[in-house]
Structure 1
Amino acid sequence: MKKILQVMGILALGVLVFWAGSQVQARGRSDRAGKNSITVVQTKIVLDSYEFGPAVSKIVLETDKPLSEAVLNSETAVATAGIARQINDVYLSDAQGNRLDRYTKSNHVALELAVDYNTEDPAQSASPFTFDLSTYRNYWVDSYVVKVSGLGLKRSGSGKLQLVSSEQEAIENRLTPSADRFSDRGTSSLPYAAYQPESAAAGEKNPLIVWLHGIGEAGTDLNFPLLSNKVAALTQEEIQSQFTSSGSGEQTGAYVLVPQAPTAWNEQYGEALIETIDAYLANNPDIDSDRIYLAGASNGGAMTLEMGIHYPDYFAALVPIAAPYSYQTASDNDDKPYSLDEETLSALKDQPMWLIHSQADTTIPASESALPFYKAMIDAGFENKWISYYESALGTDLPGQVYNGHWAWIYFFNNQVTGVQSRENIGSMSGLSGLVATNPTRGGASKATVDGIEYSNIFDWLNAQKK
């Protein structure tokens, strides 16, 4: 009996040792799994500017461990600000979301997202901007949560793919590559952001484009005028290549200056704007002060005209877009029912101008602004004055997308201002009947022609204007 008890004791002790050993092994596997699991420690959003405004085109995840691979699978999903997003690509990246060479290890992974715009409900486009109708101003949204699920990541040194999920607030973790092209930031009488052409060199003089934002981009955050539309397109090769240096003309490119007003542009900011431009010229002596081109949209377009009237000898050309214009109705005469006051006539007579407007604009109807104003200038015999008049605001970034008709500036940034209305028809036909909106010919069936030289588009024409 004693022997039996001894044997049973030995067996029991063996079972206990085996159980204890198995628990240590299990705990060891669990510890290793926890130690090797991949965790997202930060989420960044990449904002690009489009014809409809800013959009999150990419997210960048930072992980606690270096990665060797990132893959999509049927379970991978991304939602930004509560809106499900289509994923176009995934790859290992640097901290800014730039793709790395294959086999390069990284703690960052970028997911490229399809970008869309919902005209009926812009909030469904997952924009980080919100527009307050009570103040007519853009603001950053208070929260922008990015949720990722089922993303396949492989830890460096491991052959096992892990499915990783995360949900993080990202509104303060913004990357803005298009706005960052305006690397020169400063404050004179007004804060500003500026772009210096890549080819700028001593000995050559370069033109300057000054862009005036709309009412929604006023304030103290320069990201608003830089991201609310495609002003960054003015810094890119397609448009930059159309500007040549003064003198030899061998150098291409133009400076671009974007000042910001604290409130809507109005006459009180005129002196401050001139002081800001002058200060920028002093800091960049290779800018040709005889080739300063002023352009603006909506409220900025109105300020463009205001500056032309009050500083008639300062700018080489004016480009008001979707702008309100003042004019007087002289009589009920069908042929010449519109006229301008003497101050406006005198100031604008010798200033090159190119107006841009859309027939679908209900915010500032063309028939009550750009068209009669332009008609009055033609009736006054003004030369080198042009207007591109479109049927609607038809998109290019999203082909076939019809935007708010007020957004005629999309044609300017998309380099699609090529046609102009016939001056002969406008002058000879009654009322406004000589102005016919047209999208197919990009604003008009005629071409801007000065001193026998025909210009292919607005930037080709701008480059030729000089005080």
Structure 2
Amino acid sequence: MKNMIRKYLKTIILCTIGANMSTSSTVDVSATSKQINEESYRTVTETFDWGPAITKIIIYLGATVSKDSITNETFKIRVIRTENRIESPILGEAEGECKIIKAYVSDNDGNVQFKGKYVTLELEVGPDVSLTSPINYDLTTNLNGWVNCDFTIKQNNDIVTDSGKISGLVINKFAGGTKKLVDDFKIGSATYDNITIKYVSYTPENDYSKKPLIIWLHGIGEGGTDGLLPISGNKAVNFASKDIQVYFNGAYILVPQAPTFWMDGFNGFGDGSSKYEKALMSLIKDYVSKNSNIDTNRIYIGGDSNGGYMTMLMIRDYADYFAAAFPTCEALKDTLITDKDIEAFKKVPIWFTAAKTDTTVPPADYVVPTYDRLVQAGDTNVHFSFFDNVIDTTGLYKKADNTPYEYNGHWSWIYVYNNQCSSIINGKVTTLMEWLSDQQLNKETKSQTGMRPITVSQTITISQN
């Protein structure tokens, strides 16, 4: 299976999250121009279904300009991407000119202004645009990592101000950056039995009521020691968005990072064990003990692929601790699951997600037979969103024939992050997050009638609108 994952990951082209370093700027101002001494740029990074992208460059000009003085052609931007890991070649474009799709006078945060000392340049981003997407995958280690993105912004056209004309700016001094939602998380670290686990956590607004805890376990490419990759490598950061938080009236989020892979077992890769399991459980219990506002009856755990594998291990071995689980494209092979394990899984409400086009973790060998066995064993609160494929549902990205852009079939986590999994429960269409927010320990949750075993050719739910 590791070879399958490696083969799949060779197709990923990602880039850095704004760890950009620039050192100088050059200004060539005409005789009537106002001299500017501290020109610099800042970046804004956002995380999309396919991963992170640098969406905006905010330039500090040092002189006040009006909105009519800036057009999409006023500046051009070039970026050079370099790896911090010497042996890791850049996948995708290593350097090139970024396409500017919008330019306007703004404030320091990139908000449109009639007049101001800042200009914001919005960049083209997309699942196939590598210059603005900020992580690089190492084919040797099977891990993503940040790269340096050095931007140079050159002025093409004069900018007329009340006090003169600005010409010939060359800006390459980096003044920092922001990462939407990611900046709302805190990085932490804990060590248990000589195993150190980095993690990020999100704390909801305190209204003096108990809040649930959502634990998310990352996929194979996001292991390491930086802490941020598990929420930045793909859209896991969205659990902190208002769209998701509203279902829980605010929820704590805990996203641990395996030093390598959750699937590193004691006897082999993906052998049904994990050398990080005890340390992970210790971290979870410590985090809960230090946050007394967490409702211990509503601790939920989920993860994708490698993290889905670990989710299955955690609910197998700590079935009485978790109120519900939502493993996605989970990588615990069904042949490693005993009948005793099935009885443990039955104690935990579970919502599986996968896609039929997943060739990395083929559903026929993993989730489908496991789901079937749970249904046959009489599980009354197990659900399965089984998609035909994984497509763009934003309407922004299309294939050549104008049909929705199609992602790798392994990427079914996209539907989870966007709460696009749904099922008929007690006669009502219910989304994954609605269902999850309703789960509690020791609560009677018999829900879906008429559940039946399935085959790979069948689809339980399709939510691609």
Q: How does 1:270-419 map to 2 (within 5 A)?
A: 270-328=277-335, 340-397=337-394, 398-399=396-397, 400-419=404-423
**How far apart are residue 177 of structure 1 and its match?**
2.3
Is the counterpart of residue 79 in structure 1 residue 103 in structure 2? no
SS state at 1:314 partner: coil
CA RMSD of aligned residues (A): 2.6
> Within the alignment, does 1:111 sit opposite 2:121 as a pair?
yes
Alignment of 1:416-435 (within 5 A): 416-419=420-423
Which residue among 74, 95, 103 is the counterpart of 1:89?
103
Please say which structure displays the higher CA radius of gyration. 1
The residue number in structure 1 matching 2:144 is 138
CA distance in 2, matches of 1:138, 1:403: 18
| Equivalent residue, structure 2, for 1:186 | 188
Q: Which residue of 2 aligns with 1:435?
A: none
Contact 2:215 2:302 survives alignment (8 Å): yes
- Residues 188, 279 of structure 1: 8 Å contact kept: no
Matched, 1:226 2:231: yes
Q: Is the 8 A contact 2:29 2:165 kept in 1?
A: no
Q: After TM superposition, give the deviation of residue 73 of structure 1 in Å.
A: 5.2
| Contact in 1 for aligned 2:189/2:198 (Cα 8 Å) | yes
Task: Structure 1 unaligned segments of length 5 or more: list them.
Answer: 1-29, 244-251, 329-338, 420-446
- Going from structure 1 to structure 2, the CA distance change for 1:384 and 1:147 (only over 3 Å counts) comes to same
TM-score (normalizing by structure 1): 0.74
Match of 2:170 in 1: 166
How far is the alpha carbon of 1:388 from its aligned partner? 0.4
Structure 2 counterpart of 1:381, one-letter code: G
The structure with more helix, counted as a fraction of residues = 1
Q: Give the letter for the 1:180 counterpart.
A: D
State the shift of 1:143 in Å.
4.3
Structure 2: how far apart are the matches of 1:169 and 1:407?
37
Amino acid at match of 2:31: A
How many angstroms apart in 2 are the aligned matches of 1:136 and 1:221? 15
Q: Aligned-pair distance for 1:79? A: 3.5
Give the Cα–Cα distance (whole angstroms) in 2 for the partners of residues 240 and 304 of structure 1. 21
Separation in structure 1 between the aligned mates of residue 217 and residue 38 of structure 2, nearest angstrom: 41
Could you give the per-residue CA deviations for residues 175-221 of structure 1, whole angstroms, max 9, x where no partner exists?
21221021x332233222111223x322x111111111111111111
Matches of 2:30 and 2:120, distance apart in 1? 27
Structure 1 residue 277 displacement after superposition: 1.7
| Counterpart-to-counterpart distance in 2, 1:289 and 1:164 | 60
Question: Structure 2: which amino acid aligns with 1:127?
Answer: S
- Partners in 2 of 1:169 and 1:310 — Cα distance? 52
Q: Deviations over 1:86-130 (max 9, x none)?
A: 322322221xx3326434x43x32212232221xxx64x532211
Instruction: Write the letter of the residue equivalent to 2:71.
Output: L
> Identity percentage over the alignment?
32
Partner residue in 1 for 2:461: none
Number of equivalenced pairs: 375
1:454 Cα deviation after fit: 3.7
Partner of 1:43: 41
Other structure's SS at 2:260 match: coil
Following TM superposition, by how much is the alpha carbon of 1:342 offset from its aligned partner in structure 2, in angstroms?
3.0
Question: Using a 3 Å threshold, how does the CA distance of structure 1 residues 153 and 322 change in structure 2: closer, same or farther?
Answer: farther
* Structure number with higher relative contact order (C-alpha < 8 Å, ≥ 6 residues apart): 2
**Distance apart, 1:164 and its partner CA:** 4.2
